[in-house]
Amino acid sequence: MSKMKSGKLLVLLVCLNIITLGVIAAAPPTCPSNLDGKCGDSGEWEGEFFPGIPKIKYEGPSSKNPLSFKWYNAEEEILGKKMKDWMRFSIAFWHTFRGTGVDIFGAATKYWPWEDGTNSLAMAKRRMRANFEFLEKLGVERWCFHDRDIAPDGKTLEESNANLDEVVALAKELQGSKIRPLWGTAQLFVHPRYMHGAATSSEVAVYAYAAAQVKKAMEVTHYLGGENYVFWGGREGYQTLLNTDLQRELDHLARFCEAAVAYKKKIGFNGTLLIEPKPQEPTKHQYDWDAATAANFLRKYGLLGEFKLNIECNHATLAGHSCHHELETARINGLLGNIDANTGDPQVGWDTDQFLTDISEATMVMLSVIRNGGLAPGGFNFDAKLRRESTDVEDLFIAHIVGMDTLARGLRNAAKLIEDGSLAELVQKRYKSFDTEIGQQIEAGKADFETLEKLAMEWGEPKVPSAKQELAEMIFQSAL
**Residues forming the active site:** 146
Length of the chain: 480
> How far is Cα 448 from Cα 444, in angstroms, rounded to an integer?
11
List the beta bridge partners of residue 237.
286
φ/ψ of 36, rounded to 5, equals -70, -35
Q: Which of 182, 183, 233 is nearest to 207 (CA)?
A: 233
User: Which are the contacts of 421, defined by CB distance < 8 A and separation ≥ 6?
Assistant: none
Do residues 231 and 263 make contact, with C-beta atoms less than 8 angstroms apart?
A: no
> How far is Cα 440 from Cα 426, in angstroms, rounded to an integer?
19
> How far is Cα 301 from Cα 293, in angstroms, rounded to an integer?
13
For the chain, helix (H) and strand (E) counts, in that order, are 17, 14
Do residues 60 and 141 make contact, with C-beta atoms less than 8 angstroms apart?
A: no
Q: DSSP characters for 306-340?
A: TEEEEEEHHHHHHTT--HHHHHHHHHHTT-EEEEE
Give the chain's radius of gyration (CA, Å). 27
Do residues 291 and 335 make contact, with C-beta atoms less than 8 angstroms apart?
A: yes
List the beta bridge partners of residue 68.
57
Which amino acid does the sequence have at 295?
A: A
> How far is Cα 81 from Cα 374, in angstroms, rounded to an integer?
9
Residue 454 to residues 84, 327, 427, 447, Cα–Cα distance (Å):
55, 39, 28, 11
Secondary-structure percent of the chain, ordered helix, strand, coil, rounded to 5 = 50, 10, 40
**Strand (E) or helix (H) holding 308:** strand 307-312
φ/ψ of 251, rounded to 5, equals -60, -40
Do residues 91 and 143 make contact, with C-beta atoms less than 8 angstroms apart?
A: yes
Residue 257 to residues 12, 290, 354, Cα–Cα distance (Å):
74, 18, 30
> How far is Cα 95 from Cα 386, in angstroms, rounded to an integer?
8
Residue 394 to residues 57, 61, 147, 369, 419, Cα–Cα distance (Å):
15, 20, 26, 30, 37
> How far is Cα 435 from Cα 454, in angstroms, rounded to an integer?
19
